[in-house]
Structure 1
């Protein structure tokens, strides 16, 4: 079961503040990933801990933020449902505000968000010159991108865990929106890190989202934090004609290399794909090229999430006669309980540029039009993180095949 890996990642809750009772959930994970398992429980009603793992990570971080600190939060879909879990996120944000935390929220302007927006606005207000506020991007546009704001991140100036450990400059980046569908029907993950450079980059991006909603859209906005360290953030939209960042990543891959012991190896590339359109078909073409150079390419994708022209490209036989391993994944785990991947993950394990350090790319960004949405993407370097995602990938692929 995909949720099995949670056991090694999640720890018991800290004692709660008296003003805000806590359901049984997990102490937030720092500098690591959490994964939900929508199949590990019912199709509606009360979700299990495995189903709500990503939500509980966010709730735990909010509750661990002490007075006189700051939370900045951007979300595409935020809608309460019968489970009551999205409401617990709202409750936690409002409780943080009540204890003296500055809570600043940017939501996409989809009608789905209106009830949550109205509740938050009644408590926080919408003056962005105040300490706390909630705003929405413009109608039928993103804050910066042309169509919508697809963000799913939260920033915390300081969190204090149950054991007293303090972490500053904390970034929570997820693939999950905050509605019941993301509990019961889709595989998602979240990564939480404490890094001043990346945190400052996300803060700049958050400020740009707030400023951008008052200006014309800027489809050529794209920028990144500095490279050369464990974490690097990418911020979209990006002008379609300026080159695809993921294509650029793949062009830095070499398929044959020697490991630290001098043993000949092949580079492995694995992806979990939610949406992949013809606007990003160059990624598919690069994957076929690399398979022709003997890279191993393994793709788990949401059935009907890949446009036919892209799927046709991925189905091609590479120059060396080999093919990609493609695993479609939308299935019923029980009558009326359909699940599918919603994560947006790419992993490389092998030769990249001038090193052989494994990498994980994750975040809110699908392989869709580069100019249309506000999105954030996180690159993480390191064997330990890669292998955590790899274990999850194997479990997910096995669940999809079963």
Structure 2
């Protein structure tokens, strides 16, 4: 009998969050109360997976990898899995994919060229197991000139199309860092967009099936208050996102950014965040990875400044933007998540992905996760 995905729980028509990772107990439970949410939770068509290694006894949180393994193990003959990943040294999910292929699942993978060069565990397990695999060869990128930095997973299981974007690489070192995964189910338009991007990665060309993508094609709306974003590109659409914030008021006044990398080529984003704080009155908070970045982001500029505890340091691998404000013409509680750092390479030379979801349950869980990181962050 084929194992299927855990069904969405409903009660009188209302979606119920389904917790897929058991919470910690004992001393770890006390730490978790301070640390905030972790594990995977389904809310309607959306699923959020949040890792926090400080809550795990061995310091390695495999919740995202475990969930990807569950999804892979649930696939049966005729189902489809497509993956684009940056670095992959851990063999566990790779073995599951080989087993899935052997039972008739259509599995194909695109990897950054570094995996072939270094004979990484994921690469060798997949190739030895007969998985069709494209090793990017433009530098180590497929569409850019630098890295193929994606962490993109597409599943078509039992006719249900699912898109998962994550910040985590499949390495043991990544299991020791906070990471997240955002998954959308049943959004055929979003799936089609990311499948079109994956096909171009696999072809190592922006032209696929006679259709060439330019910057306008690298953003697409889904059908469930969702958008997909593909990189590299020329114009900075993260700046466009922040420029669409029009008003902050009352309890709907938060802009939260967690950036594993935030570098000077994206100075316009820094300046826009300062303007949102000082000129629009939003509560802007930023998590970065080191002291030099903190100093640069909070430096005063013509748009304002983000001093006085607005920028903090926390060792996280997340790439997140959360907005609880008036976005365009609507008050929204939205999240952008994926592989995209706030760096010049992520914009212009790397293969990257972002996904947007406008949903208060999703944004609320991510905001709680962000607040837990801020509570443990340091800075001036």
Q: TM-score, normalised by structure 2?
A: 0.80
Unaligned residue ranges in structure 2 (runs of 5+)? 1-16, 23-38
Equivalent-residue separation in structure 2 for 1:106 and 1:248 (angstroms): 29
Q: Which runs of 5+ in 1 are unaligned?
A: 1-6, 13-25, 80-85, 125-131, 160-166, 258-263, 330-339
Q: How large is the Cα RMSD of the aligned pairs?
A: 2.8
SS in 1 for 2:171: coil
1:377 aligns with 2:350: no
Partner residue, 2:233: 238
State which drifts further: 103-112 or 33-42.
Answer: 33-42
Correspondence for 1:314: 298
- Alpha-carbon shift at residue 295 of structure 1 (Å): 1.1
TM-score by length of 1: 0.76
1:118 is matched with which residue?
A: 124
Residues of 2 paired with 1:267 and 1:246: CA distance? Answer: 19
Give the match's secondary structure for 1:233.
Answer: strand
Q: 1:8: Cα distance to partner?
A: 6.4
Relative to 1, partners in 2 of residues 1:322 and 1:234: Cα closer, same or farther, differing over 3 Å? closer
Cα offset, 1:245, TM superposition: 0.7
**Whole-Å Cα distance in 2 between the matches of residues 250 and 36 of structure 1?**
26
Residue 137 of structure 1: CA displacement? 0.2
By how many angstroms is 1:53 displaced? 0.7
**8 Å contact kept, 1:219–1:371:** no
* 2:84 is the counterpart of 1:74: yes
Q: Does 2:22 match 1:31? A: no
Alignment partners' CA distance in 2, 1:266 and 1:227: 25
| Selected match of 1:390 from 358, 362, 367 | 367
User: How far apart are the structure 1 equivalents of 2:93 and 2:297?
Assistant: 41
- Shifted more, 313-322 versus 89-98: the winner is 313-322
Number of the residue aligned with 1:158:
157
1:189 matched residue in structure 2: 180
CA distance in 2, matches of 1:179, 1:66: 26
Q: Is 1:301 aligned to 2:295, yes or no?
A: no
What secondary structure sits across from 2:227 in the alignment? Answer: strand
CA shift in 2, pair 1:266/1:116, >3 Å: closer
Partner of 2:66: 56
Partners of 1:373 and 1:319 in 2: CA distance: 29
Asked if the contact 2:83/2:109 (under 8 Å) is kept, the reply is yes
Supply the distance in 1 between the matched residues of 2:307 and 2:122 (Cα, whole angstroms): 46
Q: 1:305 to 1:171 in 2, by over 3 A?
A: farther
Report what 1:367 is aligned to: 342
Alpha carbons of structure 1 residues 219 and 69: separation in structure 2 relative to 1, 3 Å: closer
Q: 1:88-103 residue pairs with structure 2 within 5 A?
A: 88-103=92-107
Decide which of 316, 320, 331 is 1:345's aligned counterpart. 320
Output the CA distance in 2 between the equivalents of 1:303 and 1:219. Answer: 36
Q: Distance in 2 between matches of 1:9 and 1:123?
A: 33
1:268 deviation in Å?
Answer: 1.1
Match of 1:137 in 2: 136
Matches of 2:96 and 2:378 in 1, distance apart?
38
Residue in structure 2 matched with residue 289 of structure 1 by the alignment? 275
Q: Could you say if the C-alpha distance between residues 31 and 227 of structure 1 is closer, same or farther in structure 2, counting changes exceeding 3 Å?
A: closer
Question: Aligned to 1:350, what secondary structure does the other structure show?
Answer: strand
**1:314 Cα offset (Å):** 2.6
Q: Distance in 2 between matches of 1:367 and 1:288?
A: 15
Cα contact 2:332–2:358 (8 A) shared by 1: yes
Supply the distance in 1 between the matched residues of 2:251 and 2:50 (Cα, whole angstroms): 29
Q: Counterpart in 2 of 1:208?
A: 200
Partner of 2:110: 106
Q: Distance in 2 between matches of 1:380 and 1:305?
A: 31
